[in-house]
Chain A
Amino acid sequence: MGRVAPHREAPLKVPHKEVPLKVSHREAPMGWKNQELCTLSSCHQLWKLSNLGCYGTHRTVTFARASLNCTHDFIRVWGWVHHQWSSEDPQGLGTKGFALPGKTSNVKVILNGGQIVTYLRPDGYFLFQNIPAGTHLIEVAAIGYFFSPVRVDVSARNPGKVQAALTENRRGLSELVLEPLRDEQYYEIREPFSIMSVVKSPMGLMVGFMLVVVFLMPKLVENMDPEEMRRAQEEMRNQGVPSLASLLPGGGRN
């Protein structure tokens, strides 16, 4: 699935075959009795509330007739996972030898910590059927992306009313479109070779220290007051501390 998500104005594109029968709000006011929804004509219908859908299609309607109650036996929570998969990823994930598996076929949508697991359709839609009223949690497991879990409230009193919010940042969702909050980069990036990295390494530090001793120390010594220097040298001589030169081979000969 290489395509970048379609435009935002049409994320609620209804999955094929479930073409909505236009039910305007006049025909279906807020207080619409759920039984009516269930026993309405057998053709497809879509009832949308604030863009968050609970559908009754003719499949579910017949079932509802059998159970005589469609309040929450057949509520379906459905949504859409917005994805920018790696083939067109500007950061070039997976362009190196180790491709990040970034296909929609590897994305799982999980309800309530594993109660129901579903997969995405090619167009990114997912669907949970027969969700009881209550508060639920939807998680998306996709390697390479960080998705926030989504809190979904399925109303018991007002069937079909579904509210959703991201739990990570408590942002309410007007439509159940799940987007990754960020990419996940599992590997450290190898820093390109730089002098600093060599200098910072333990051996670089060692060499640096040596250089300081070799080149800066004589300078420091030079900058010292000759009087003091002489005194120091005398002191050293008195104490019998061998000089650097005398330590080195052949340094003994003066």
Chain B
Amino acid sequence: MAIRSFFLFILFFSSSISPVFSLYEDQVGLMDWHQQYIGKVKQAVFSSQRAGRKRVVVSTEENVIASLDLRHGEIFWRHLLGADDVIDGIDIGLGKYVITLSSGGSILRSWNLPDGQMVWESSLQGPKHSKSFLLVPTNLKFDKDNLLVVFSNGRLHAISCIDGEVLWKKDFEAESFEVQQVILPPGSDLIHVVGFAALSQFEMYQINAKNGELLKHESASFSSGFSGQVSLVSTETVVALDSTGSILLTISFQDGKISSQQTPISNLVEDSLGPAVIIPSSVSGIFAIKTDAVTIFIRVIGKGNLEVVEKTTHEIAVSDALSISEDQQAFALIQHASSEIHLTVKLAHDWDGNLLKESVKMDRQRGLVHKVFINNYIRTDRSYGFRVLIVMEDHSLLLLQQGEIVWSREDGLASIIDVTTSELPVERDGVSVAKVEHNLFEWLKGHMLKLKGTLMLASPEDMAAIQSMRLKSSEKSKMTRDHNGFRKLLIVLTRAGKLFALHTGDGRIVWSYLLRSLHKSEACQSPIGLNLYQWQVPHHHAMDENPSVLVVSRCGPSSDTSGVLSFVDTYTGKELSSLSLDHAVVQVIPLPYTDSTEQRLHLLIDADKHAHLYPKTSGALSIFKREFSNIYWYSVEDQNGIIKGHALKCKCTGEVADEFCFDTRDLWSVVFPSESEKTIATVTRKLNEVVHTQAKVVADQDVMYKYISRNLLFVATVAPKGSGEIGSVTPEESWLVAYLIDTVTGRILHRVTHHGSQGPVHAVFSENWVVYHYFNLRAHRYEMSVIEIYDQSRADNKDVWKLVLGKHNLTSPISLFSRPEVITKSQSYFFTHSLKAIAVTSTAKGITSKQLLLGTIGDQVLALDKRFLDPRRTVNPTQLEKEEGIIPLTESLPIIPQSYVTHALRVEGLRGIITVPAKLESTTLVFAHGVDLFFTQLAPSRTYDSLTEDFSYALLLITIVALVAAIFVTWRLSERKELQEKWSFYSAFASQSTFSSLHFSDN
């Protein structure tokens, strides 16, 4: 009975907190932070409006178009286009519309420059795939309407700038014609389209811009052929390279006549250089070619006479031309010199004179300058000033003006590849203790203010003071470890190969490091970062050591290129060492063992299925040898639909004796029939997940044992036809199969088929359950299913004695032939939204109930209690089940707006959600990343183990004072009462005794 009432109590509490995560509006920013990024800038266009705020419109590699404030670098507005909608070009039309060409030149959109509202959208089709160009001529008018000229998909379009209507179009249907440039000579109504045909033919089309009429078509053949791009040196001259890359062809097509001149590069430069490429630029009269080591600037004089103006071995970046007056063009040039960059602005026709020459100190961690965009302004003395926007190797964006960095944006953080966390240093004597609570009076005053706030007595000024006080609380951004484990470092690896450490308190960058091992080099052509692992996590005896992370990267996109390891200290952000491996890295397996210096053992599997042990120390080797027969792993071959289990065999039998290299053997393999199943998702449990209890007490005092194994793998396969987009198959020809596979024995523990369902599948595995999200074609809704797996072999162990002495799953032999006694329970529910990511909260001890974190298509993160995904839910739960907290079964999962973790914010382009346990059991840290970053703390069962942030100490004090006062008052009262009682007792006694004596006398 006592237990039942306890359950009732729990139920009372749990039912009263159904939207567990909920936030008041004034609590925004207390525990969470949100950062907005745009990604690496591809193209930038400066808004030339004289009045109003200065803006720059950029398009990025993350498919973002954004309008930035030129003074501070803040985002005015931003749009993230779809993943396949890659931006080909942007420009500003009529001074108030941003025009974007995307999806390989097939979608043209116009956006309102001040507020980012889309104005129109046009679809441009064409006969074949081609390069695409977007040109916004300033002088081409058509019935008071400005024209846009777009070349895409083998077709030239003239489009109205006001409403996006196609005014005329012209096909270039010749099979082999490859467009290279579309030229609009200023002051004429002509459009020149130049390109190559059949590898050695140069073609020039002259088109009337008013109506798309073909005026002229000339062609000339060049026996030596062409390679790469062409550079436009004037409106009637282009420069191209022949197919060997050693002869420059200067082709001019003045008045529709093609004439050309060939100049071998060796004539211009004495020493032979090897094949060159043309760097595309739009500066008139000058072009640049680049060989492996040298960049050469060449000037075109008159009709095809070439002259070298500069030859440099420095890394160099050139901007496009900026016309500053009728006949003058300026361009910017940036050269690197150790810790500085030199910016020069030159006039196009005058190479030797510099309009501007500045040197700017540049953080080495930003790497090289990748792109330069130039803009001018008129100074107060009516001379020209120049500002340049530069894009660095680490994808950051900086504005330089007057020799200084005006602002910078860390846009590398828009493309995070992997995330891990690191503890902060322990607070020592040297580190000062919190300075917030410097004096008791201030502290009390603060709390009095808060109390006023909760009692709704505060004035607006007070409210503002409270808000700023809460947000400022420097406690949360201190650089030391805290008692609750809320303060940590988030170590993130970005696509640019840069590591950042972000403080969880306020999201600031503590350090950043551009990995030197990820620089391009002879041996490593296109290095890419892959993963981050915790390499050294010191606790106990190695407290003085700094923790470090392992960055695994690879020299090329294919998995058989050799790998690179780097080890980075997470406190200082310095690279401790780096290793260029002589083998590939296909798989990295962090082992649950550490050596004497607390370095974690990692097993790297290469392309030839050899296992390599790191760190390469004898201590690690001896630990590894002890556990040699206990190491199993699996691999998934997506193309063949095979999942294989592996174990170690013996030392490498190669020609080189390497005691850290091991041969492996295949233990088992699961082959999915390729004609009916295609693997689309595999998920395992997180390695560091903690499970508090294996037993689960169900309503009728029964015990169920969770089947908890680290070696469970969830695999989802779909019919090969159904692996495409939604709507590409009918329900009859599509199915989805979910498997639970033991990765040590290869046994399939559970298999379930969802007929008429389709991917994409998003799944998360935790404890003994897996939740997955997929599309149900019959109902045409998304569905989420849960599978829970229980150990049946221990089901008889009902009481304590049996639990201690009874059957144990450790004693059963592990073999493919022993059938584990498991039962599974599953249930499916409808869910409204598409998902982009799914995660589950994790806490320090695993006691706190779990919440699923769903990254929805709207780029929000929704917290959903795991109790909603409980296979034991029934439509009418019995009284016992209700007491246990089972929610009546509903067809679909509820979406409670208050349980959006991201509240009214969007994590634009959401890609991943990471949860990290805090030290406080009730709390978990959540980090969601995409183009934006978002961080918050979650308490899935409320903070039952600590006072909440808005706990009012003043109210507590007042209560205590009131209680003490009450005690004294009541003591006085009781004393008085006692005295009175005594008097009345005596008087009553006296009167009674007289009364009784009278009574007796009566008798």
Contact = CB atoms under 8 A, between A and B. Distances in A.
Given A105-B116, A186-B900, A207-B963, A113 B726 contact: yes
A112 B780 contact: no
Interface string B854-867: 00111110000000
Given A139-B833, A139-B834, A188 B974 contact: no
Interface stretch (A2-10, A28-36, A95-103): A95-103
B781 interface: yes
B974 A117 contact: no
A190 interface: yes
Nearest to A197: B454
Interface in A129-165: 129-130, 132, 134-137, 139, 141-144, 146, 148-149, 151
A181 to B, nearest CB: 10
26 contacts: A97-B25, A98-B28, A98-B904, A104-B117, A105-B77, A105-B79, A105-B115, A112-B725, A114-B834, A114-B836, A115-B725, A116-B82, A117-B85, A119-B118, A120-B118, A129-B123, A132-B727, A137-B834, A139-B833, A141-B856, A146-B897, A168-B892, A184-B897, A187-B28, A193-B454, A193-B455
Interface in B33-91: 77, 79-85
Nearest to A144: B904
Interface stretch (B196-204, B317-325, B525-533, B954-962): B954-962
Interface of A: 1, 16-17, 59, 62-63, 66, 96-98, 100-101, 103-105, 108, 110, 112-122, 127, 129-130, 132, 134-137, 139, 141-144, 146, 148-149, 151, 167-168, 184-188, 190, 192-193, 201, 203, 206-207, 210, 214, 218, 244-245, 248, 250-251
A103 to B, nearest CB: 7
Contacts of B123: 59, 129-130
Nearest to B902: A186
B85 A101 contact: no
Q: Which 3 A-B pairs have the closest CB atoms?
A: A141-B858, A117-B82, A113-B834
A143 B455 contact: no
Contacts of B780: 135, 137, 151, 167
Interface of B: 22-26, 28, 77, 79-85, 107, 109, 112, 115-123, 125, 127, 163, 165-166, 169, 454-457, 725-728, 760, 775, 777, 779-782, 832-834, 836, 856-860, 892, 895, 897-898, 900, 903-904, 906, 955-956, 959, 962-963, 966, 970-971, 974-975, 977-978
B104 to A, nearest CB: 13
Contacts of B125: 63, 66
Nearest to A100: B904
Nearest to A130: B123
Contacts of B120: 121
B76 to A, nearest CB: 11
Contacts of B728: 132, 134
Nearest to A194: B456
B62 to A, nearest CB: 13
A95 B716 CA distance: 47
Contacts of A122: 117-119
A146 B894 CA distance: 12
Contact of B857 (A113, A134, A214): A113
A235 to B, nearest CB: 18
Contacts of B83: 114
Contacts of A134: 727-728
Given A112-B727, A122-B119, A188-B23, 5 more contacts: A141-B858, A168-B892, A185-B897, A186-B898, A187-B28
B834 A105 contact: no
A112 B777 CA distance: 12
A119 B456 CA distance: 42
A78 B557 CA distance: 40
B117 A186 contact: no
Contacts of A248: 971, 974-975
Contacts of B975: 245, 248, 250-251
Nearest to A127: B121
Contacts of B127: 66
Nearest to A135: B727
A248 B971 CA distance: 7
A233 B858 CA distance: 71
A43 to B, nearest CB: 13
B832 A96 contact: no
**Of B77, B727, B834, which is in contact with the most chain A CB atoms at under 10 Å from its CB?**
B727
Given A139-B834, A193-B456, A210-B963, A103 B117 contact: yes
A149 B892 CA distance: 14
B906 A143 contact: yes
A137 B727 contact: yes
B349 to A, nearest CB: 43
A187 B903 contact: yes
Given A116-B82, A186-B903, A245-B974, A149 B832 contact: yes
A186 B23 contact: yes
B84 A115 contact: yes
Contacts of A245: 974-975, 978
Given A59-B166, A66-B127, A167 B781 contact: yes
B959 A114 contact: no
Contacts of A105: 77, 79, 112, 115-118
Contacts of A244: 974
Contacts of A201: 955
A156 B420 CA distance: 49
A182 to B, nearest CB: 9
B957 to A, nearest CB: 10
B25 A121 contact: no
